[in-house]
Amino acid sequence: MTKRLDYAAIAPDGMKAMAGVHSYVAHCGLGKAFVELVYLRVSQINGCAYCIDLHTRALLKEGVTIEKLALVSVWREAGALFDAREQAALAWAESVTRVSETGAPDDAFAAVSAQFDQKEVVDLTLAISLMNAYNRMAISFRAPPAAAKSVQG
């Protein structure tokens, strides 16, 4: 995969605006590992190699086990490995990421609302939306994952 262009260098103000939302999410109180887990699932759905690599590395640094990381994409079958809040967040992340298919139905909203207060639901949805935007930038402009860079050069 060849990088198409350096979007951060070409539109630094746009990327700075996205970084502002990223900073908000990082400090909203949901927790770093929790948000990274959501970011990873959104990136898996979108097929963003750059972000999957980035968030997997971040989760490893946060102490998340390799067993848990390996099962993020199939979290429904992983039993108690994912707690109730993680399950609700991952289900909401899937629904919001696939919003053109799901319409973010009432039952999905009720499930996430049972685990999170209103501000947390909004913050979680901001995190999901942000990662969808980042995925679209990285995929569209072919940002290479760190793992691929390390073997190329």
pLDDT tens digits, one per residue of 118-130: 999 999 999 999 9
Mean pLDDT for the chain overall: 95
CA 88 – CA 21 distance, rounded (Å): 22
Q: What are 61-111's pLDDT values in tens digits?
A: 999 999 999 999 999 999 999 999 999 999 999 999 999 999 999 999 999
CA distance 5 to 151: 20
Q: Are 33 and 63 in contact (CB under 8 A)?
A: yes
Q: State the Cα–Cα distance between residues 123 and 24, nearest whole angstrom.
A: 9
> What is the rounded CA–CA span in Å between residue 108 and residue 88?
8
The one-letter amino acid code at 13 reads D
For each of the domains in the chain, give its residue range(s) and CATH number, in order of start: 9-137 (1.20.1290.10)
Report the distance separating Cα 42 and Cα 10, nearest Å.
Answer: 25
Share of the chain above pLDDT 90, in %: 92
pTM: 0.94
Q: Are 116 and 29 in contact (CB under 8 A)?
A: no
| Banded pLDDT at 34 (limits 50, 70, 90) | very high
Let me know: does 43 contact 131? Beta carbons within 8 Å: yes
pLDDT band at 150, cuts 50/70/90? low
Check residue 124 and give its pLDDT: 98
Model pLDDT, residue 116: 98
Q: Is the predicted pLDDT of residue 152 greater than 70, yes or no?
A: no
- Per-residue confidence (pLDDT) for residue 2, from 0 to 100: 86
Contact 138, 51 (CB under 8 A): yes
Question: pLDDT value at position 146?
Answer: 86
Q: What is the pLDDT of residue 153?
A: 53
Joined tokens for residue 141: 């402009």
- The least confident of 13-27, 75-89, 101-115, 137-151 is 137-151
